[in-house]
Structure 1
Amino acid sequence: MSTDPRTAPFAGRPWFAANEILAFVVELAALACLSWWGFTVGDSAVLHILLGLGVPLAAIVLWALFAAPKARLRPGLPGVLLVKAVVLGGGATALYGVGHPLGALVMAVVVVANTAVAETLRRTAAGRPVGPDTDSTTDSPESG
């Protein structure tokens, strides 16, 4: 039986799939919160529109350049986590800014937990670390 290449990363890893879906929902929520905040800041309608559209657009560009899985300028893990903190933490801060401190706290906790689980799961395969610092040829079923 062949595995569909579109679902291969999630095969046999339901927690990974669930966490990736949650990550996407959190990213969309952060953009929505940034937009909501932008539309409420300032005194003029022009400023509302500029911030309401411009802040989430800036977050999208930042994410696409540095934090997306296929980012054009993907930095190391500390850089990616910094961008995630700015964008996702900015979403929680924006939610606080529009008057929802409890929602902001819940969002912040979900962001931290989801990011920690995502980064941990992305760096393990069957309990073994993977990445440029590990030798993927040792102890693998294919090598021996």
Structure 2
Amino acid sequence: MAKAANAALMFFLELGVLFSVGHWGFTVSESLALRLLAGIGAPALFIAVWAVFGAANNPPVPLKGAARAVLEILWFGGGAAALVASGLVTAGAVFAAVYIVNAVLRLVWHQV
């Protein structure tokens, strides 16, 4: 049951990254055009990268080992950084901490 909860948490963390990047995009500038571009474009870019390299079910370019670790650090770190950049420093720190706990548990339980 704990392993299933950790897998579900991973999914919600993935959604959290998209929310975080979108939130950052919609707060990045006073220009409406730039906010729309960043608020829609940044999550779209993150989705494309995750779909190609990180998706759970047969991504076109599956990454293993250190390459997978780098992808996850950039992906989830990007979500945390987006929260911090949009002024939500505590939320960014909590997001990063939850990801780290999730990643350690996935390694310990061989869920990677």
Tell me the TM-score normalized by structure 2.
Answer: 0.90
Aligned residue for 2:107?
119
Report the residue type matching 2:100 in the other structure. V
Consecutive unaligned residues of structure 1, counting only runs of 5 or more, are 1-13, 125-144
Consecutive unaligned residues of structure 2, counting only runs of 5 or more, are none
In our comparison, the structure showing a higher alpha carbon Rg is 1
Aligned residue for 1:27?
14
Question: Is 1:62 matched up with 2:49?
Answer: yes
Write the deviation string for residues 46-71 of structure 1: whole angstroms up to 9, x where unpaired: 11111101111111111111111221
Q: CA 1:123–1:98 in structure 2 vs 1: closer, same or farther (change >3 Å)?
A: closer
- For 1:26 and 1:103, how far apart are their aligned partners in 2? 13
Equivalent residue pairs, number? 111
- The Cα of 1:43 is off from its aligned counterpart by 3.4
- 1:3-82 matches, within 5 Å, as 14-69=1-56, 70-82=58-70
% of aligned pairs identical? Answer: 32
Query: Contact 1:63–1:84 (CA<8 Å) still a contact in 2?
Result: no
Question: Is 1:93 matched up with 2:81?
Answer: yes
Q: CA 1:79–1:26 in structure 2 vs 1: closer, same or farther (change >3 Å)?
A: same
Write the deviation string for residues 8-32 of structure 1: whole angstroms up to 9, x where unpaired: xxxxxx1110001111111111110
- The Cα of 1:120 is off from its aligned counterpart by 3.0
Tell me the TM-score normalized by structure 1.
Answer: 0.72
Write the deviation string for residues 113-144 of structure 1: whole angstroms up to 9, x where unpaired: 112212332359xxxxxxxxxxxxxxxxxxxx
- The Cα of 1:42 is off from its aligned counterpart by 2.4
**Which consecutive segments of 4 or more residues in structure 1 shift more than 3 A?**
none
Larger RCO, structure (CA 8 Å, separation 6 or more): 2
